[in-house]
Every structure is written in structure tokens, then in C-alpha cells.
Amino acid sequence: MNIRVDAVKETGVALVTLDRPEKHNAIDLEMAAELATVWREFRFDDTVRAVVVTGAGGRAFCTGIDRSVEVPQPSSPYSIDDPLLTIGPKANDLWKPVIAAVEGMACGGAFYLLGESEFLIASRDATFFDPHTTYGMVSAYESVYMAQRMPSGEVARMALMGTAERISARRAYETGLVSELTDPGEAVPAALRAAAVVASYPAEAVQGTVRAVWAAGEGARARARTHAPHLIALGNLPPARQAELFGRGRGRSGFRLR
């Protein structure tokens, strides 16, 4: 199992942990399926009234798709198979509040999870970045999600700067991506405390509020997502070329923290 679920029965909060620390909690096909199953099962568990999602190990919340995973693609330029499209709670029809607790790196495909969380709590040593353009890929779904959380100029800079620049937790807080900063190692306890407060309120009112906030950006998000498969098909380099760029990039150690 790549996902750990710990339920705090007395508070009604479940802690979901991405548990591949040796891979910086990168998501393979098995983990993607497990996440979808967890969210869908929570819909039927009335003892769970709020959820905290985090990554194991402290070095990374999640670094997106595992680069070793091969995902066969249809030949049509009008469709794309993306296993990350179903890893989030909203994609699985869960309207219980989800709070993300971020320690270390959160990048690329991690934004699918962050984008479907109600709010983020991060330690001061957390960093956020989007490596897609560096490796010849279009940042499509990731940018759509972040455009709902940050000013568009900040999203554009993060996506276009690729691996050359990381957004500090402080900057993420200043731009609205993060709602609370903690000392290192304290993001999960802070998120659990917030989730316990929310879980103590009437579930119907809480879930209705979650749905209302999501609905506020749903139209724009849905319209933008319809373009994503075509932009990816047109703009992504062939996988072999991506792999070559990725191999070069792994040898670089420098980046600018903003």
C-alpha cells in the first residue's frame, strides 16, 4: 500500500498520508488508484467529517507523477490518458473538507491534490514549483488548478520558470496559495487542529459550504480544462526527448528561491 489512512475517531478527522518517501511521494499508477478509492470510500463513512492529506518523510509533500511510470496514450490528439485526473477528492465526488499539510517540496502533479483541497497549511521550509516547461511539457491542468488559488501572474511565472525557481512558503502565503505557516514539522498538527474544528460543525452545512466554494470557480475551471488535452498533445515533446531533458536536469543542483 502506498497510502496510509489514520482516523482520529474522537475528532472525526482522517489523516491521509502519501507513503512513498523514498520517491518523494511521487505518484505511480497504484498510488493513483489507491487515492481514488480512499476518497470514494470516505463518502460512505459518516465517522469521517474532515480530512488532512500530507506526504511522508518530511522532504516532499508530493513531486507529481513518477517519471518511471509508462502511461499508454491514445493516438487521437483530442484525448489524453492522465492518471492524475482522478486522484483528488472533488474528482471522486467527495464534498467533505480536505486540508493539505505541506512539508518540503510540492511540485507538478502535486497541484492536482492541492487544487482540490479547501486550503493549505505549510511549514516555513516548504517550496512550490512546476517543472513541466523545463522538461518539454505543457503545464496545463496544473496551471488551471493554480489559477484558482493564486494571481495569474504568479501562476504564469511559476509555470514558465520551471525548475529554475522555487516559490518559498512565505511567498506562497503572501500570494494566497497557503493560508497558514508553521515551524518545520508542525504542518500536520496544525492541519489536524483546523480539521477538528471544522469536523465539530454540522456536516450538512460544512459540505454545502465546500460545494459552494468549489462552484464559484467551477465554470472557468471546466472551460479551461477542455483545452488541456489539445495543448498537451500539441506542445509536449516526444517522451524520449522529455526523458533526455529530465536526465540532464537531474544533474543540476542550483535553483533560485523566491
pLDDT in tens, 79-121: 677 889 999 999 999 999 999 999 999 999 999 999 999 999 9
Domain for residue 66, yes or no? Answer: yes
* Containing structural domain, residue 27: 3-199
Domain for residue 73, yes or no? Answer: yes
Q: Which residues of the chain have a pLDDT value below 50?
A: none
Confidence (pLDDT) at 228: 86
Confidence (pLDDT) at 146: 95
Confidence (pLDDT) at 76: 72
Distance CA(101)–CA(256), nearest Å, equals: 23
Confidence (pLDDT) at 159: 96
Confidence (pLDDT) at 248: 76
Number of domain units in the chain = 1
Confidence (pLDDT) at 102: 98
Domain for residue 193, yes or no? Answer: yes
Domain for residue 210, yes or no? Answer: no
CATH code assigned at 184: 3.90.226.10
Domain for residue 237, yes or no? Answer: no
27 strand-pairing partners = 65
What's the whole-number average pLDDT of the chain? 92
Confidence (pLDDT) at 1: 85
Q: The C-alpha cell of 161 is what?
A: 520558470
